Structure 1
Amino acid sequence: MRQPGRQTRRPERRTPQTAAELAKVHERALAEAAARAATRDTTPDDPSLFQPRPEIGDSWERLRRLGLDPDAGAAAVHLGPAEIEHRRRTSGLDPLLPVLRGTLLEQSGQPPLILAIADADGHILWQEGERGLRRSADRIGFLTGARWIEESVGTNGIAAALRAQRPMQVHSAEHYLRSHHSWTCVAAPVHDPGTGRLIGAINLSGPAHSIRPYLLQLTATAAKLAETELRARRLESLHHLRTLAAPMLARVNGPALVVDAAGWTAAAAGLPPPARLRLPAEGWSTAAVHWLPSLGECVIEPLADGWLVRPVPLRNTAPAPAGDPDGPDGPAGLGAPDGLGGLGGLLAEQTEGARVRLDLRRPGSPALSVHGAAGSWSHALSPRHAELLLLLATERNGLSAAQLADALFGDPARTVTVRAELSRLRRHLGGLLAHRPYRFAESVLVGVAGPEDPYDLLPSSSGPAVRRLRAGLAGGTVRLPGTPPLPGQLPAPRTGRVPLPPA
């Protein structure tokens, strides 16, 4: 019962809830984008009208710029039977089918659905579900062997989950192609727990009118179960490698490690074992001795499904002690999934003339390269660290924690997360990053390598500043630091400062 004199406030409705409303948003967005392109008008849409979600709006704008026809799509890409079987065997997803079927399809009382499992490139490797529904899906090209990427079939659940690397739903007219408006797709990415590499996506599709809200969470849970199964298999493989390595380690003179192909330690003798060694992404060179950040110079020898690593006498560095928070087995070291490989101790004293390059050319695989007196380094970044470093690279005068929180979350009060992540970054990068405000050191030369399509810049990010930066790059009003100017465009300032587009 409503209390006398008390008014109730209905929550603000930010996104359309029905397929009919979504269809109106879809048609209006395409029409207004075409009109702006014809007049070269960059004025944003009326914010008082319904707007698509940021991820959907960015996808629509990207596909419109690519010239994808919302009525026809692009030429379909289909794998042959032999290629499908090859990808099934090498994807690492094959062992997961029983748990996924049991979790997603064999549940009573749920509406008819199609389960599709795609690899990291968006190829549908398996597709199961109710026969009549699958026949309907075949008519829009949603079948085994099809490559379900935005460039071919527009905005869809599989492509959205692979780009954003988080669970995503594309409902009804959120699809870019009009032929898909009667469908809703929910999808979640699957990562290899051993390497962190994206290996595929799990998707549930069905009629838009019958999809239940809980299916997105169900799909996300199934992806976590799949990763748990992969983790259990990795631990079993490590145990097998440890058994094979035990006799060899007993005969080795001096300290040694045995790690699997992803760098996870199976066994150690004579030194504190790190949880994981960060191995070169490009593989080992032909040199007899290799340098590893946490161990120094090492001799590397192949062993079964892994490597025998033997440190040699070190000249300037020594392995970090066990339990050191900045050491290889500490929360900020190589054992951390988004660690930067123990750069801090060396780089803190080598900032003068150092060159930092943020490589964002490959969507979903940001990397950081550092070149200085201590050597050259290249390491994978977590999405959050990539966002922070991009914002600091484009604003060399620095940003406060509140400004960074506003740029990432649209909420300047969320400073705790920002400070925690920057503290972790500064622990590794040392003097390369300054604070009060947060910024790159003045003596550091910073460059950013971006993708060819501006809308591929950190596609997993929905931060307001990152979205504005994408739009500015697409419109030619800004450019990334360290990139050559376009014809007729003024060079960037010598400071490397490239201001973010205004909110």
Structure 2
Amino acid sequence: MSDRPIERPLDSAVRSAQDIRVTARRLAHVHEAALADDTPPEAPPAEPRAVIGESWRRVRTSGLDPDGEQPQRLLPVAELEHRRGTSQLAAVLPVLNDGLLANADAAQQIMVVTDAEGRVLWREGSAPVRRMADRLGFDKGADWTEDTVGTNAIGTALVARRPVLVHSAEHFVRSHHQWTCAAAPLHDPRDGRLLGTVDLSGPAHTFHPTTLSLVSAVARLAEGELRTRHHRSLERLRSSAAPVLARLDGRALAVDPHGWVVGVTGLTPPDRVALPKVPEAGPLWLPRYGMCGLEPLPGGWLIRLGRPAREAGPGSVVLDVSGRDGAAVTVSGPAGSWSHELTPRHAELLFVLAVHPQGRSAAELARDLFGDATRTVTVRAELSRLRRHLGGVLAHRPYRFADGVAVEVRMPPRPVHLLPQSLAPAVVAARRT
């Protein structure tokens, strides 16, 4: 989960049905004034909460009509089943159900789990509320991102990368004003990669100030379960790999399918090795070790380190920041290509280096990322982590992409959507170009 604080969901004094009705009317006035570009009313809150105001600005830029129909193109059944079967969140559904379903039924709400693209994978809870959701297209396979349905807890949490509650007229689309929803992002505890969201939604009168805290706590439990499962799988692989490594001469590593290291011989063990998304047995160029040989192990891979070929260095890099759900870097060379999904901070760093091919000093990068040239220690620490995956791609003194590496940046169609969760000054400036 993100370490950023959870924004307080509206006024914590909102308790009774009358309070909820008053709050809904107040939010409706703010919503109408904002869409009309008028000054919001003086009665507090005088303007939308920051997370809501930022979302409204994004949605208005995309051209979404607050009064229009939002037709849904649900995923085909086969695609929905494929996404369910390959999602890591399938393993933690029992945790989510135990923590939220009883509450959802009692509070006339539904529990929804989406993937990182905002597609609804699972939906359970109150039958009458499910029927209400059907009328909005809020069904399994639906796209619940901001671009499609405007400001809502799921789509806004995916952009903000933190828990979000959206109540009544805080929704951008007027047909959603009768709803309240609270969603928390779910991350892969191994590397922080966004996996999706878990959400509680229901009629606006079911609002309760503790809902967001409940959803956030259950999301943390689910991430803890993923961490435990990961540790168990590593222990199983470690047991089977240990006798193999003991018989080998030279240098070798045993890794799981995602590159997490469980054993080595002849070298200092790293935490992780950057493997292709679909590894295959045979020769493989790795950014930290050069040419290697990949052999299958039960539940993982054996990597034999050979003598690096001089010509087997990376030739090109594609930095893809075009999506709304994360960024990735793809490195290509004589032995093929491999991709690595980036944390938000590493995406910012590589973007700045890509637009400054001549290189940046630590102080310049600190200004680019934090607006503070003194934060060089943080910059160097992040670059050190990044070089574990891109050691053959990045150079230093100054920090830059290595000589001879061709760099391509894939930008989003609209500059305003560039790394939308980033507050780095360099990224904010690039959105305005």
- Aligned residue runs from structure 1 range 58-97, under 5 A: 58-97=54-93
Identity across aligned pairs (percent)?
47
2:144 counterpart letter in structure 1 = W
Q: Please tell me whether the aligned partners of residues 364 and 460 of structure 1 are also in contact (alpha carbons under 8 angstroms).
A: no
Distance 1:166 1:181, change over 3 A: same
Which residue of the partner structure matches residue 348 of structure 2?
387
Secondary structure of 1:93's counterpart equals helix
Once residues 415 and 209 of structure 1 are traced to their aligned partners in structure 2, the CA distance between those partners, rounded to angstroms, is 49
Instruction: Select which of 182, 195, 213 maps to 1:199.
Output: 195
Distance 1:308 1:77, change over 3 A: same
Q: Please tell me whether the aligned partners of residues 153 and 166 of structure 2 are also in contact (alpha carbons under 8 angstroms).
A: yes
- Aligned residue runs from structure 1 range 103-252, under 5 A: 103-106=99-102, 111-194=107-190, 196-252=192-248
Once residues 360 and 346 of structure 2 are traced to their aligned partners in structure 1, the CA distance between those partners, rounded to angstroms, is 16
Which residue of the partner structure matches residue 322 of structure 1?
none
Once residues 429 and 36 of structure 2 are traced to their aligned partners in structure 1, the CA distance between those partners, rounded to angstroms, is 21
Which residue of the partner structure matches residue 419 of structure 1?
376
Once residues 106 and 174 of structure 1 are traced to their aligned partners in structure 2, the CA distance between those partners, rounded to angstroms, is 26
Decide which moves more: 376-385 or 94-103: 376-385
Partner deviation per Cα, 1:20-77 (whole Å, 9 max, x = no partner): 33322322332339xxxxxxxxxxx899994444543443344334432212333212
**1:255 and 2:233 aligned:** no
Once residues 136 and 108 of structure 1 are traced to their aligned partners in structure 2, the CA distance between those partners, rounded to angstroms, is 14
Once residues 108 and 390 of structure 1 are traced to their aligned partners in structure 2, the CA distance between those partners, rounded to angstroms, is 42
Decide which moves more: 50-59 or 222-231: 50-59
**1:362 and 2:356 aligned:** no
**1:32 and 2:37 aligned:** yes
Which residue of the partner structure matches residue 291 of structure 2?
297
CA RMSD of aligned residues (A): 4.3
Distance 1:85 1:315, change over 3 A: closer
2:126 counterpart letter in structure 1 = E
Distance 1:431 1:304, change over 3 A: same
Per-residue deviation at 1:92?
Answer: 2.2
Partner deviation per Cα, 1:73-115 (whole Å, 9 max, x = no partner): 3321223545433332221222212211222233599743321
Per-residue deviation at 1:228?
Answer: 1.6
Distance 1:432 1:403, change over 3 A: closer
Decide which moves more: 229-238 or 52-61: 52-61
Gaps in structure 1 of 5+ consecutive residues: 1-13, 34-44, 317-345, 348-353, 473-477, 479-503
Once residues 403 and 197 of structure 1 are traced to their aligned partners in structure 2, the CA distance between those partners, rounded to angstroms, is 23
Per-residue deviation at 1:458?
Answer: 0.6
Q: Please tell me whether the aligned partners of residues 104 and 126 of structure 2 are also in contact (alpha carbons under 8 angstroms).
A: no
1:248 counterpart letter in structure 2 = V
Per-residue deviation at 1:445?
Answer: 9.7
2:154 counterpart letter in structure 1 = I
2:170 counterpart letter in structure 1 = E
Instruction: Select which of 411, 417, 425 maps to 1:450.
Output: 411
Which residue of the partner structure matches residue 266 of structure 2?
270
Q: Please tell me whether the aligned partners of residues 157 and 163 of structure 2 are also in contact (alpha carbons under 8 angstroms).
A: yes
Partner deviation per Cα, 1:447-472 (whole Å, 9 max, x = no partner): 753211223211222557745643x2
Once residues 154 and 244 of structure 1 are traced to their aligned partners in structure 2, the CA distance between those partners, rounded to angstroms, is 50
Distance 1:464 1:257, change over 3 A: closer
2:376 counterpart letter in structure 1 = R
Distance 1:379 1:459, change over 3 A: same
Which residue of the partner structure matches residue 304 of structure 2?
310
1:308 counterpart letter in structure 2 = L
Distance 1:359 1:88, change over 3 A: closer
Q: Please tell me whether the aligned partners of residues 58 and 455 of structure 1 are also in contact (alpha carbons under 8 angstroms).
A: no
Decide which moves more: 194-203 or 378-387: 378-387
Once residues 116 and 149 of structure 2 are traced to their aligned partners in structure 1, the CA distance between those partners, rounded to angstroms, is 16
1:238 counterpart letter in structure 2 = L
Q: Please tell me whether the aligned partners of residues 362 and 376 of structure 2 are also in contact (alpha carbons under 8 angstroms).
A: no
Per-residue deviation at 1:127?
Answer: 1.6
Once residues 413 and 182 of structure 2 are traced to their aligned partners in structure 1, the CA distance between those partners, rounded to angstroms, is 28
Per-residue deviation at 1:253?
Answer: 3.5
Secondary structure of 1:184's counterpart equals strand
Q: Please tell me whether the aligned partners of residues 71 and 137 of structure 2 are also in contact (alpha carbons under 8 angstroms).
A: no
- How many residue pairs get matched? 399
Once residues 92 and 426 of structure 1 are traced to their aligned partners in structure 2, the CA distance between those partners, rounded to angstroms, is 28
Distance 1:239 1:379, change over 3 A: closer
Secondary structure of 2:74's counterpart equals coil
Once residues 397 and 32 of structure 2 are traced to their aligned partners in structure 1, the CA distance between those partners, rounded to angstroms, is 48
Instruction: Select which of 360, 378, 396 maps to 1:431.
Output: 396
Distance 1:361 1:24, change over 3 A: same
Once residues 47 and 179 of structure 1 are traced to their aligned partners in structure 2, the CA distance between those partners, rounded to angstroms, is 22
Q: Please tell me whether the aligned partners of residues 104 and 111 of structure 2 are also in contact (alpha carbons under 8 angstroms).
A: no
TM-score (norm 1): 0.66
Once residues 37 and 118 of structure 2 are traced to their aligned partners in structure 1, the CA distance between those partners, rounded to angstroms, is 30
TM-score (norm 2): 0.75
Which residue of the partner structure matches residue 329 of structure 1?
none
Distance 1:423 1:72, change over 3 A: same
Once residues 314 and 197 of structure 1 are traced to their aligned partners in structure 2, the CA distance between those partners, rounded to angstroms, is 31
Once residues 300 and 371 of structure 1 are traced to their aligned partners in structure 2, the CA distance between those partners, rounded to angstroms, is 18
Per-residue deviation at 1:371?
Answer: 9.9
Per-residue deviation at 1:173?
Answer: 1.6
Once residues 157 and 108 of structure 1 are traced to their aligned partners in structure 2, the CA distance between those partners, rounded to angstroms, is 16
Which residue of the partner structure matches residue 26 of structure 2?
21
Q: Please tell me whether the aligned partners of residues 194 and 262 of structure 1 are also in contact (alpha carbons under 8 angstroms).
A: no
Once residues 36 and 406 of structure 2 are traced to their aligned partners in structure 1, the CA distance between those partners, rounded to angstroms, is 43
